[in-house]
Amino acid sequence: MNYIATPPEREISTAFALTFGETVRARRSFRAFLPDPVPQSVIHQVLEDAQFAPSNCNTQPWNTHIVSGNKRDELSQALLAAGEAGQTSADFSWDAGAFPDPYDDRRREQGKVYYGSLGIAREDEAGRARAGAMNLSFFGAPHAAFLFMPSIGDNVRVASDLGMYGQTFLLSLAAHGLGGVPQTVLGLHADTIRETLGLSRDLKLLFGILFGYPDETAQANCTRMDRAPLSASVTFHDD
């Protein structure tokens, strides 16, 4: 491995027309995409940007698998079949009922805003199930990135490194005029994804990121989630 701080052979992205503040705010979760594929050179730029994410002791524990074209269609079919059969195979647990307030409050608000934007009522279980299945058909996105990791200790430090990587990937998408959505739902189908991609069980799936050109006119993309004020999240200690 080359440990030169900034290897000269690395391509530096020149796509940054937005300021940092604009890029951070341009990133949001898109849940409807145009079918047009993203040029391979642009996907490479995004991956090069993400590679500069920080990690504990520079361990860079992310193992990223990009799925496009026929493989994307095959995988989506396998995921839809697993979903239909009620099969899940998560490497890491997800328990929506485990959140105390104020986190649960925010979780519920997100569901209300998203399903509301699709015109799906709270008690419409069939409608919610149909909307849930849209995660498995990739919301029409032409590409999916799967963020796998080695299992080390209690996995928390490794998972935080993958979170850093995921956000850098998402910000680079935004800077390139692309959109994405992180996907714990895809992380609930680790076996199906490993089997379809022929991957070792040693790689654990944390989450996926669907990406492509967002369909800005779609109902699913017409809302923006609000954030708590700084006072709810930050405490200054300076005396």
- Residue closer to ligand FMN by CB (options 28, 157) is 28
Alpha-carbon Rg of the chain, whole angstroms?
19
CA atoms within 13 A on the CB side of 175: 23
Residue 172 CB-density burial (10 A; 0-12 exposed, 13-18 middle, 19+ buried): buried
Could you report how far apart the first and last alpha carbons of the chain are, in Å?
46
Residues facing residue 209 across a β-bridge: 145, 182
Q: Are 32 and 140 in contact (CB under 8 A)?
A: yes
Closest separation between CB of residue 217 and ligand FMN, Å?
A: 17
222 touches ligand FMN by CB under 6 A: no
Q: Are 176 and 212 in contact (CB under 8 A)?
A: no
Q: How many CB atoms lie within 10 A of CB 119?
A: 9
Binding mask 158-197 for ligand FMN (x = CB under 6 A): -----------------------xxxxx------------
137 touches ligand FMN by CB under 6 A: no
Closest separation between CB of residue 74 and ligand FMN, Å?
A: 21
- Residue closer to ligand FMN by CB (options 25, 44) is 25
Token look-up 């390139």 returns: 176
Q: How many CB atoms lie within 10 A of CB 12?
A: 10
Closest separation between CB of residue 209 and ligand FMN, Å?
A: 9
Q: Residues 13, 18, 28, 124: which binds ligand FMN (CB under 6 A)? A: 28
Q: Are strands 63-68 and 143-150 parallel, antiparallel or unpaired?
A: antiparallel
Please give the residues from 3 up to 22 whose contact with ligand FMN meets the rule CB under 6 A: none
Closest separation between CB of residue 108 and ligand FMN, Å?
A: 11
Please give the residues from 30 up to 89 whose contact with ligand FMN meets the rule CB under 6 A: 31
- Residue closer to ligand FMN by CB (options 133, 152) is 133
Q: Residues 88, 110, 117, 137: which binds ligand FMN (CB under 6 A)? A: 110
What are the tokens at 128? 């919610």
207 touches ligand FMN by CB under 6 A: yes
Contacts to ligand FMN by CB under 6 A: 28-29, 31, 110, 135, 181-185, 207, 225
